[in-house]
Structure 1
Amino acid sequence: MIVNKQMITIKGTREGLTLYIDDSCSFSEVLKELDQVLSTKYTDKDEPMITVTIQLGNRYLHKEQEEALREVIRRKNKLVVQSIDSNVITKKQALQWRDDSEIKAITKIVRSGQVVEIVGDLLLIGDVNPGGKIVASGNIFVLGSLRGVAHAGANGNTDAVIAASYMEPSQLRIADYISRSPDYESEGVYMECGLIDKEKSKIIIDRLQVLSQKRPDLNGFERRILNG
């Protein structure tokens, strides 16, 4: 006996509905079954608006297919698509993710007037002199003295951190948060880091050891750098 595989699974949540779509069947079959399933449910016009999240699994949809999927759901007066999520990303997105998550190691002294700017995490093996500036979309690690300007999380990442062997910066910036002297000891500090304290809504300076608790998402390579 042949048993038809269920292509659409619907689960209710506090936020609305989640549709799990089988990723092994054809897209045309998905549209047909989705229309049939929704036609037997959620037809009462007196029901409140329900948001729908669609989980595609290992299926990638082109924009035209996404719009066709949204259109089937839009026909039901009380359903609105909130998001369409997939485990599959494009090559462009994968390359962007790699760039954003890579650690770029640079060996140099950043002198006054010089700017080093990279995408991803920056590991600078050298000093940042007064008047020098380093910028990264991710975290910044300086194996040397930081006496200039450091800007981590430049694209808005408030979880980014700045760590240095010797911390005496003229300015620290993480995302849109800025901290200047005299927030630091006049003679600087060794093996410290700057990070955003979201409760206090400002950048704080703390020991490197706190990162394992306050930023547990730092990967293994970064932890080895911090712990020696």
Structure 2
Amino acid sequence: MENNEKLQSLIKIIKQKRSYNNIDNNICYAKSIIINYHIRSGQQIYAKYSDLIVVNNVSNGAELIADGNIHIYGYMRGKALSGANGDKNCQIFCSKLYAELISIAGEYLVKDEIDKQFIGQASRIFLKRNLITIKQLS
């Protein structure tokens, strides 16, 4: 029940971000944040004005949030929220997609909505006509 409440709370935040349409294109993005360790359940990493690169696995219950792109070179089992500041051009890249939730600029899919053909695959996730789109990386 606790995980469900956390997920509902996160979805509420995403829906609030969805109404954010006034993006300041003059924001200067910082150097990418690189994480070399395993992100465990309950941990939250936020890359403000930056891309986030994780060179390890992300466990169920962990949250990655970035104003820029997110790259996961390992298993992605937690939540990934890219474009947290409303930037619809952001993307998520991962080596093994098993995510609980993926979101770009407030648009999101939960685990059960992710097409089964992409589960466990190297994937690129982006917005196309305001819909989450997943493509397999070769």
Superposition TM-score, scaled by structure 2 size: 0.74
Distance 1:158 1:98, change over 3 A: closer
Match of 1:134 among 56, 64, 87: 64
Unmatched tracts of structure 2, length 5 or more: 1-25
Aligned match of 1:124:
54
Is 2:114 the partner of 1:194? no
Per-residue deviation, 1:105: 1.0
Per-residue deviation, 1:103: 1.6
Per-residue deviation, 1:187: 8.0
| Greater RCO, 1 or 2 (C-alpha within 8 Å, sep 6+) | 2
Is 2:133 the partner of 1:204? yes
Aligned match of 1:109:
38
Question: Alpha-carbon deviations, 1:25-73, whole Å to 9, x = none?
Answer: xxxxxxxxxxxxxxxxxxxxxxxxxxxxxxxxxxxxxxxxxxxxxxxxx
- Partner AA of 2:120 in structure 1: V
Question: Alpha-carbon deviations, 1:100-130, whole Å to 9, x = none?
Answer: xx22111111111110111210110111101
Aligned match of 1:171:
101
Per-residue deviation, 1:204: 1.5
Instruction: Write the distance in 1 (CA, Å) between the matches of 2:63 and 2:115.
Output: 18
Instruction: Write the distance in 2 (CA, Å) between the matches of 1:98 and 1:138.
Output: 8
Per-residue deviation, 1:177: 0.4
CA contact (8 A) 2:45 2:63 kept: yes
Distance 1:97 1:187, change over 3 A: closer
Cα RMSD of the aligned pairs, angstroms, is 1.8
How many residues were matched structurally? 111
Distance 1:187 1:164, change over 3 A: closer
Instruction: Write the distance in 2 (CA, Å) between the matches of 1:181 and 1:151.
Output: 13
- Partner AA of 1:97 in structure 2: C
> Based on CA coordinates, which of the two structures has the bigger radius of gyration?
1
- Partner AA of 1:166 in structure 2: K
Instruction: Write the distance in 1 (CA, Å) between the matches of 2:42 and 2:58.
Output: 11
CA contact (8 A) 1:168 1:184 kept: no
Aligned match of 1:88:
none
Identity percentage of aligned residues:
25
Per-residue deviation, 1:189: 2.8
Q: Which has the higher helix share?
A: 1
Per-residue deviation, 1:181: 2.3
Aligned match of 1:56:
none
Is 2:82 the partner of 1:152? yes
CA contact (8 A) 1:193 1:205 kept: yes
Runs of 4+ aligned structure 1 residues displaced above 2 Å come to none
Distance 1:136 1:180, change over 3 A: same
Unmatched tracts of structure 1, length 5 or more: 1-92, 210-228
- Partner AA of 1:173 in structure 2: S
